[in-house]
Structure 1
């Protein structure tokens, strides 16, 4: 591979670009593997392929292919709007992150406080999982209620149980939202309840959130986002309360497995959704729809278009090793990168062109580096289409180095040995 360097802002980090030695055969299709060959543009054999056409009346629409990072369709993606209950996906991300770090257990039980119950019980607090005052509920059960039936009470109990108050938890939400790249979003509540216009997001940020949740917490995503129903609590007659999942395409569209609906007078009927078919995952947002039926129909039509009119061609399998990145002040001078998932190039059906691939990172990284964290991007540019970006992960841990390790790193920088 060929390496070039460009100085980043501030003159500290260096943008390192690796030209990868892979080229897709011009006639390949589906999940064909690339052959080792110098990077080049492969001429189209059957002429150019037009970008598939999608026509919609929805004011806010966005569709992304998770594996390649390709944006297949976008309208109004940067417009800020109130997400309503889609804000609960951010709450779920925060909770799953705490569990992953070992700072919270699924088995931890929180007590439903009287004040929280009065504020968010079903008679006045919108969607509910019918929690009772002084009831002890596990984090696991609260996450199920949060996502499956959009429980406002579940969101509040999680927030108060974790940080002592909803306000304190919201501060945590905003810090993490900024950390994961949600550039134009701000949260004022853990459940998306109307708050005078404080809580605002964009479709692009919601796509970023869903992308990070699915990548960072695949186990949590599989556990909580596709449950067909929730049974929790009892009715006044003593019968179990069973509520269906509110995801409008779950069970209707093949491969649908998350995420969350929302509705406000300002934004209309909205949906952040995802589906996976044949190893390929799409994430979508539709907002501004006039009814539940219009939201559901638009979501199904958009997803169908994404799967039917586009295809993902596998370039690298999951776990494939790529270039190494310099690490500053580390126990080792470099860290290898690898693909977290199979990398696919998303192209229109029948595409016969080639592509270019480069790996980009800001180097040197600062130790410590944790295995599995994003440290670089694989940027694939198919002929005639915008670049498609897939995160690459650190393939090993690199701790902070002592003076001897730093001296050895300096020798490596000078000699390459």
Structure 2
């Protein structure tokens, strides 16, 4: 009896397992965040510049101390160009000193008639968003903050920052500066950036000068015996109660707050070789800017990967050969010159199509290439088109062009045929043409 019951149990269990196996296991999904509590936000892949998420990202708003990312860029550019060095020493101006004595504006009390290195000033700015050291750096690079503001706006044009307007180096409102607002600006002016502009500025900063992350990731910095913490609470292993906000891979970039701007944050994190850049503007609280950033980064890392979508030497069926005139060979094969990488969303196995567009200026009147032809010669452009469900594009047209095209190159060289071969080909073509004409004439009789 027991054996019969056991047999029935085993059969029943096997049937249940079989039935359950017929139904797919529920998938863990990470839908696009629909509840980002910020007036404006954006998420960007830092390798390709592809926008993964946006909310009112073109809205120009006061960025507060996120302005300092442009100051950082210009200082690093000046160091790269050899105009200044990390070890150069300078004494701060009366204006910078007055800012350092105002607890509302700066984190470090600086001394007059004392030498500070560029690296000391930069680190204080990057770690604690210090305004006095920011002004000091602007004066070092350009001679005055007014001249530095001109450099900021010129660089914004070069970068293609939409809706960017800089009026000082710090991100404070000019109205906070009293009579010290930069020459060439108005006393009540404010800086303006859109979330897209801030993301693009951060994109240039981390790609052009990745050493910026060595400083933005410093958790604490001591200057003049004063030890101040980084305002970026998302850095892993921050001291004390701030540790709860830490996020794996975060190493930058810049927080911001003023009455006009609210709480802002441009963040960046890298995991498994993939870097993301996020921006949130006008969140409700100091902690909210990090909580909303966490939502964006979670979405990005869980849903998107940059991977090779077409290998080097990729060919498109029906488009991968061209006829060759006056060559030893009649045709030449075509293929892409290098691997093509792009952002792929989870669940979209093939979100891109590719097509070949031949440069007509390379062809003769009959649509042929003319020998001689070198191996690896560029003859056109491969166009990559995104076919997924949601496409926010790229943060600039230049990045879109660079990420959605590749060169088409010849896969072999074709030597020009000698005069003897070309002569007999011409004779053959001549008689072939006569034969075709006669055949057509006879065909027309019937």
* Bin of the TM-score, shorter chain as denominator length: 0.5 to 0.7
Distance 2:202 2:383 in 1: 20
Answering whether residue 244 of structure 2 is matched by residue 221 of structure 1, we say no
Shift, 1:85, TM fit = 0.7
Answering whether residue 138 of structure 2 is matched by residue 159 of structure 1, we say yes
TM-score normalised by L of structure 1: 0.66
Runs of 5+ in structure 1 lacking a partner? 1-49, 235-240, 323-336, 361-375, 394-414
Shift, 1:51, TM fit = 9.3
Secondary structure at 1:292 match in 2: coil
- Asked whether the 8 Å contact 1:61–1:285 carries over to 2, the reply is yes
Q: Which has the higher contact order (CA 8 A, sep 6+)?
A: 1
- Asked whether the 8 Å contact 2:128–2:228 carries over to 1, the reply is yes
Shift, 1:170, TM fit = 1.0
Listed one character per residue, the Cα deviations across residues 324-383 of structure 1 (whole Å, up to 9, x for unaligned) are xxxxxxxxxxxxx999xx9642222232224135899xxxxxxxxxxxxxxx99966244
1:258 pairs, out of 229, 245, 252, with 252
Distance 1:146 1:378 in 2: 43
2:193 pairs, out of 178, 201, 224, with 201
Computing the radius of gyration from Cα coordinates, the structure with the larger value is: 2
1:282 pairs, out of 276, 283, 299, with 276
Secondary structure at 1:270 match in 2: strand
1:108 pairs, out of 88, 107, 125, with 88
Cα 1:51–1:248 change in 2 (3 A) is closer
Structure-1 residue corresponding to 2:228: 243
- Asked whether the 8 Å contact 1:52–1:348 carries over to 2, the reply is no
Secondary structure at 2:278 match in 1: strand
Distance 2:382 2:133 in 1: 36
Shift, 1:248, TM fit = 2.3
Cα 1:179–1:357 change in 2 (3 A) is farther
Structure-2 residue corresponding to 1:58: 38
Answering whether residue 166 of structure 2 is matched by residue 169 of structure 1, we say no
Secondary structure at 2:353 match in 1: strand
2:70 pairs, out of 78, 90, 103, with 90
Shift, 1:225, TM fit = 1.4
CA RMSD of aligned residues (A): 3.2
Answering whether residue 294 of structure 2 is matched by residue 300 of structure 1, we say yes
Cα 1:253–1:124 change in 2 (3 A) is closer
> Relative to total residues, which structure has the larger helix share, 1 or 2?
2
Shift, 1:162, TM fit = 2.1
Secondary structure at 1:193 match in 2: coil
Secondary structure at 1:127 match in 2: coil
Listed one character per residue, the Cα deviations across residues 42-65 of structure 1 (whole Å, up to 9, x for unaligned) are xxxxxxxx9933122322110011
Distance 2:247 2:383 in 1: 31
> Relative to total residues, which structure has the larger strand share, 1 or 2?
1
Answering whether residue 168 of structure 2 is matched by residue 189 of structure 1, we say yes
TM-score normalised by L of structure 2: 0.62
Secondary structure at 1:271 match in 2: strand
Distance 1:137 1:379 in 2: 51
Structure-1 residue corresponding to 2:345: 348
Shift, 1:321, TM fit = 11
Cα 1:102–1:392 change in 2 (3 A) is farther
Shift, 1:284, TM fit = 0.5
| Aligned residues between the structures | 306
